[in-house]
Copies of this chain bind each other. A is one copy, B any other.
Amino acid sequence: MSTKDKIIKTSIMLFNQHGERAITTNHIASHMGISPGNLYYHFKNKEDIIRHIFALYSQHLHTQFVPMAKHDEAFTHLTGYLDALFELMWRFHFFYDNLGDILSRDEVLKKDYIEFQAALLSQVRELVIGLREGGMITIDDEDAIELAHMLKITVSFWTPYIKARRLSGELMQQDIYNGILKVLALFKAFATEQSIPQINLLREKYSALAAQAEPAS
């Protein structure tokens, strides 16, 4: 693995662990056992590192979060989506811990982010419409866009929400399952007679996973 990639990897780890604000370029370098000068040979500055991390994140999201084709197996696919999605959010959660700060210091990144989120909103809306077409949920067009927004908010800010409720501020693997349960509850609110048993089945599955190490949220 190249030094450049190692810097990215180390930065993600340290940012997630201690927060982007608390981690300086010196911390990153010293943790890797390289000099600050070397770090600045590979990256123009700290924002440059963050931009690369964001590129990584959005690229992962693009490849994993492709719109569904078959509506009838919607919820089966949904599980896979949610697992991958929350796992991704967990791996890059520092970004949403400090979203405002990070974006306000980098105009270029902010533009990319806005564009990216607009595309994402459309995709989520399509997914919601897809579930409707498959008879899984009942929802009018107006609420479909509202639901898409709420899904985005819930997924994006789930990790900061959890961290703020815990003195240690640490995230656990189980938190992912609790997040998925929130999304399932959202879908269940719009579910049809036909789909409710499927959702309840999923809920039981993730409830069991979430309960393995934690008291109920």
Contact = CB atoms under 8 A, between A and B. Distances in A.
A161 B167 contact: no
Contact of A104 (B103, B111, B113, B169): B169
Contact of A101 (B21, B118, B143, B181): B21
Contacts of A150: 150, 154, 182, 185-186
A33 interface: no
A33 B103 CA distance: 30
Interface string A171-210: 0000000000110011011100000000000000000000
Contacts of A153: 153-154, 157-158, 161, 182
A62 interface: no
A150 B104 CA distance: 27
Contacts of A143: 185, 188-189
Interface in A1-59: 18-19, 21-22
A117 interface: yes
Interface in A124-143: 143
Chief secondary structure at chain A's binding surface: helix
A110 interface: yes
Chain multiplicity (copies): 2
Contacts of A154: 150, 153-154
A76 interface: no
User: Which 6 pairs between the two chains have the least Cβ-Cβ distance?
Assistant: A189-B189, A146-B185, A97-B100, A157-B157, A21-B101, A99-B164
27 contacts: A18-B104, A21-B21, A21-B101, A98-B101, A99-B160, A99-B164, A100-B160, A100-B163, A104-B169, A110-B167, A110-B169, A114-B167, A117-B164, A117-B165, A143-B185, A143-B188, A146-B182, A149-B161, A149-B217, A150-B186, A152-B161, A153-B153, A153-B154, A153-B158, A153-B161, A156-B161, A157-B161
Given A21-B21, A97-B100, A101-B101, 19 more contacts: A19-B100, A22-B104, A98-B101, A99-B160, A103-B169, A110-B167, A114-B164, A114-B166, A117-B164, A118-B165, A150-B150, A152-B161, A153-B154, A153-B157, A153-B158, A153-B161, A153-B182, A156-B161, A189-B190
